[in-house]
Structure 1
Amino acid sequence: MMKHYLHTSRKGESPPPSKTSNSGVTYVHWGKKRCPKDAEIVYRGQVGGNNYLTKGGGVNYLCLPNDPENGRHQSSSNDQVYGTEYRLGSSSKPFGWSESMHYKEVPCAVCYQKHRSTVLMIPGRKTCYKGWNSEYNGYLLSDHSTHFRRDYACVDRKAEPLDNKSVGEHGAYFYALRTKCGSLRCPPYTNEADVLCVVCSK
């Protein structure tokens, strides 16, 4: 009977990729027009999303570039993409934020961090765990509890408006989140507190 042997020679195989290759990670810097220190900017834009009253369509926020390549105009009842506005009432804004940003549109930047393999957003913390690098920290925001569901976004603690326009044109919204004790264990959490967040890379 003929025997078959597994060929184990490594001769001619390609060398393993260098750890100093051009690998890296990208992430969105929500609420800012630029990237954190040491990160390259891919593009700047404004935050877009579905209208807060729309049942269907996407639930995620988008970072729409400031230099779009627009498609052909079409009139239909399809889902539409709106801008996103801060909603910052005196009792609903994150601690330290100014009400002057109320109803103003939200900027964003897509950032590239070289020589990193993964990026992680951690809710409920403002610092990264050991071995991870902090890209930025801030507050966890989403839409209002009485509106249709939306993803969470970690918005920079020093968030800024897209510009000085403030007219409440309606679209997607950013509201601050609050903790609610019960099914959420307190401690370690506390009731009705801002939810902090941090974006970490490694």
Structure 2
Amino acid sequence: MCKPTVKIVLVAVVMIVKNYECKDFVLSASDQSLIEMMKHYLHTSRRLECPNQGKTSNSGVTYVRWGKKTCPHGSEIVYTGQVGGNDHQSKGGGVNYLCLPNDPENGQHQSYSNDQVYGAEYEPGYSIKPSGWSESMHNQEVPCAVCYQKLRSTVMMIPGRKTCYKGWNAEYNGFLMSDHVTYNKKDFACVDNNAEPLDNKNGNQNGALFYPLRTKCGSLRCPPYTNESDVLCVVCTK
């Protein structure tokens, strides 16, 4: 839209000159210089208003897709990995889950005792599992993927919903999970609805654990919530 504007202004300048009362008017060197200056001014003054179509924007957001090795369609994968975190029985240290890359650059061995980075396992069983999940997920290690969504400026996880609000784009949806209420605290994480195991091993080595959560009415108003039900979640970008 910028170039046509410049052309219209220049045409107007030329028409004014041509319609000058003296039909035999001849432009002097200073007149020609003035026109060239005006061309240069219009060109440079409009440049900032015109987006550079040749450059790709570097704007975007990243998020972790818990429970999957791949990113949703339309997102780029930054890296894939294994979920880790502090042991479920540890009293101190970090409480957040980590997406640990599958190609780590390991530090030197140390003799001090402060282990805080363990693997993570799913803990759904016969009596405690999200709707639709198989018991075979029990004690399986948890994968993750860090995803990059171009041309987005913000990302958020909405607990209690499986769809985004108007104007937002759903990256993935799933179940809200954390550690068991009897263990030490962990973050809430939105684990993909179609979660998968990291591999075929099943060692029951614990570490950071993922348990499904359910609602409890009382201080939580029901309705609109329902008592003792799965807590859904969705990750949205805009």
User: Same fold by TM (over 0.5)?
Assistant: yes
Deviation, 1:15, is 4.1
Deviation, 1:80, is 2.2
Question: Contact 2:162 / 2:233 at 8 angstroms: preserved in 1?
Answer: yes
Corresponding residue for 2:95? 59
Matched, 1:140 2:171: no
Corresponding residue for 2:218? 182
Corresponding residue for 1:131? 167
Q: Which of 168, 191, 195 does residue 155 from structure 1 map onto?
A: 191
Task: List, as ranges, runs of 4+ consecutive aligned residues in structure 1 with deviation greater than 6 Å.
Answer: none
Deviations 1:44-67, CA, capped at 9 Å, x for gaps: 000000000000010000000000
Q: Distance in 2 between matches of 1:159 and 1:16?
A: 46
Deviation, 1:16, is 7.7
Deviation, 1:84, is 0.3
The alignment yields a C-alpha RMSD, in angstroms, of 1.8
Gaps of 5+ in 2: 1-43
Deviation, 1:37, is 0.3
Q: Distance in 1 between matches of 2:227 and 2:49?
A: 50
Q: Which of 91, 109, 132 does residue 96 from structure 1 map onto?
A: 132
Cα separation, partners in 2 of 1:17 and 1:169, compared to 1, 3 Å: farther
Question: Contact 1:56 / 1:79 at 8 angstroms: preserved in 2?
Answer: no
3-state SS of paired residue (2:152): coil
Q: Distance in 2 between matches of 1:79 and 1:85?
A: 17
**Number of matched residues?**
191
Matched, 1:71 2:107: yes
Larger Rg: 2
Cα separation, partners in 2 of 1:157 and 1:18, compared to 1, 3 Å: farther
Gaps of 5+ in 1: 1-10
Deviation, 1:89, is 1.0
Deviations 1:160-196, CA, capped at 9 Å, x for gaps: 0001111201101000000000000000000000000
Cα separation, partners in 2 of 1:165 and 1:182, compared to 1, 3 Å: same
More strand, by proportion: 1
Deviation, 1:75, is 1.4
TM-score (norm 2): 0.77
Corresponding residue for 1:82? 118
Q: Distance in 2 between matches of 1:93 and 1:107?
A: 18
Cα separation, partners in 2 of 1:135 and 1:90, compared to 1, 3 Å: same
Corresponding residue for 1:3? none
Corresponding residue for 2:152? 116
Cα separation, partners in 2 of 1:41 and 1:24, compared to 1, 3 Å: same
Deviations 1:17-37, CA, capped at 9 Å, x for gaps: 969622000000000000000
Question: Contact 2:94 / 2:116 at 8 angstroms: preserved in 1?
Answer: no
3-state SS of paired residue (2:173): strand
Deviations 1:61-96, CA, capped at 9 Å, x for gaps: 000000000001101112420000000111211000
3-state SS of paired residue (2:100): strand
Identical positions, percent: 74
Corresponding residue for 1:47? 83
3-state SS of paired residue (1:121): strand
TM-score (norm 1): 0.91
More helix, by proportion: 2
